[in-house]
Chains A and B, each alone.
Chain A
Amino acid sequence: MNEAYWAKNPNGPFATLIAVAATYCHPEAYDGADADLVDRARSPEPDDEEIRLFKTELREALADPARLPDDELFKAVDYGDGSDERFLRRLWRDLYGDEPTAGA
Chain B
Amino acid sequence: MRELRDRPDEADDGGRAERDGPGAGAVRERSEVRSRSEYAADAELAVGLEVVRRFDARRAGLTEVSTRDAAAYLDVRQAERPWLAAARDRSPEVQRLFAALDQGGGHGHIRHEGWVTEEMSRRRVAYLEDPAQLDPAKRAAAIDGLLPGDQRHRCGSLATRIVNPDAFAVAFARGAEHSDVRGALDAEIRKSRVPSPVVLPIASLLGPHGHRYCTGWQLEAVEGSVKTARERRDASADVTVRQVETFDGGTVIFAFGPNRARSGYEIVSMYVNPPDGA
Contacts and interface: CB of A to CB of B under 8 A. Distances in A.
B255 A1 contact: no
B199 A2 contact: yes
B200 A3 contact: yes
A15 B228 CA distance: 24
Contacts of A48: 193
Interface string B218-232: 000000011110110
Nearest to A76: B197
Residue from the set B105, B158, B257 with the largest chain A CB neighbour count within 10 Å: B257
A22 interface: yes
| Dominant secondary structure at the A interface | loop
B195 A31 contact: no
B231 A33 contact: no
Contacts of B158: 78
B180 A82 contact: no
B207 interface: no
B77 interface: no
Contacts of B228: 82
A30 B197 CA distance: 12
Contact of A45 (B190, B198, B230): B190
A33 B231 CA distance: 21
| Dominant secondary structure at the B interface | mixed
Contacts of A6: 196
Contacts of A45: 190-191
A33 B201 CA distance: 25
Nearest to A74: B227
A88 interface: no
B176 to A, nearest CB: 14
A23 B199 contact: no
A28 B193 contact: no
Residue from the set B105, B197, B226 with the largest chain A CB neighbour count within 10 Å: B197
Given A1-B200, A78-B230, A81-B231, A30 B193 contact: no
Interface in A40-87: 40, 45, 48, 50, 74-75, 78-83
A23 to B, nearest CB: 5
B269 A39 contact: no
A4 B196 contact: yes
A85 to B, nearest CB: 11
A81 B225 CA distance: 12
Nearest to B106: A30
Contacts of B15: none
Interface string B149-183: 00000111110000000000000000000101000
B197 A22 contact: yes
Interface of A: 1-4, 6-7, 19-20, 22-24, 26-33, 36-37, 39-40, 45, 48, 50, 74-75, 78-83
Given A27-B154, A82-B228, 13 more contacts: A3-B200, A3-B201, A7-B180, A23-B194, A26-B156, A26-B197, A28-B253, A29-B268, A31-B105, A31-B147, A39-B192, A78-B156, A80-B233
25 contacts: A1-B178, A1-B180, A1-B200, A1-B201, A2-B180, A3-B251, A20-B196, A22-B196, A23-B196, A23-B197, A27-B154, A28-B253, A28-B255, A29-B255, A30-B194, A30-B255, A31-B257, A36-B194, A48-B193, A50-B193, A78-B158, A79-B227, A79-B230, A80-B234, A82-B227
